[in-house]
Amino acid sequence: MSGKVKKDKDNLETDDEHYSTTFPDSRLTFADILLNRYLPILSITYIACVIGLALKRGSGIYFFNYLLGDETSYFLAFLVAAWVSIPAIIWISMRGVGALTSYANNWYKSTTIIMVLVLFASFLLFPPNGQGSEMWYTARLFVAAAIPIHIIQYWFFTKGGLPTNYSAVLGVIALTLFLYGVVVL
């Protein structure tokens, strides 16, 4: 055993690194994780994707045409936000279950490493000049864009979140863009 040995409620020795009360961030509540850590990252991801896709399609004066009139930007931003939310929701759920708290961080790191390996394997298995290269190019961009978001999410989840008032402002902006994309377009 690598950590300190501690006796649990059944008087059994427990390795300290797997004992949930030894983690400094184990006192986080579900509301704190959801409101101050998860929703700001989800909001920033959605807002950045909408603006980035509009900038990619048109620069200058055409940027506003694509920002306010192109429904595919909003749909693709929703897909990206949903894709990066899956591991985050599983991490939050694992943190909520007392027995899995100590494994949540390792699971999240493993997921990000697997995404990196999938990205590198796609270059070996499906060369850029091979058959179906356009489809694999798009998939690679999607995975390559998700990896930094996963790393930022992990850092944000473990090191600290935003104050609630900043989180609320980001959430309102993202919700406004989402409703505009769904209702108006």
Segment 41-68 mean pLDDT: 87
Instruction: Give the residue-averaged pLDDT of 90-96.
Output: 85
The listed range with the strongest mean pLDDT (12-16, 54-58, 157-161) is 54-58
Block residue for tokens 């990205």: 119
CA distances from 130 to 90, 120, 144, 179 (A): 35, 16, 19, 40
Q: Is the pLDDT of residue 174 over 90?
A: yes
Q: What is the DSSP string of 65-134?
A: HHHHH-HHHHHHHHHHHHHHHHHHHHHHHHHHSGGGHHHHHHHHHHHHHHHHHHHHHHHHHS-TTSTTHH
pTM (2 d.p.)? 0.73
Mean pLDDT of 23-35: 69
Q: Give the number of other CB atoms < 10 A from CB of residue 95.
A: 23
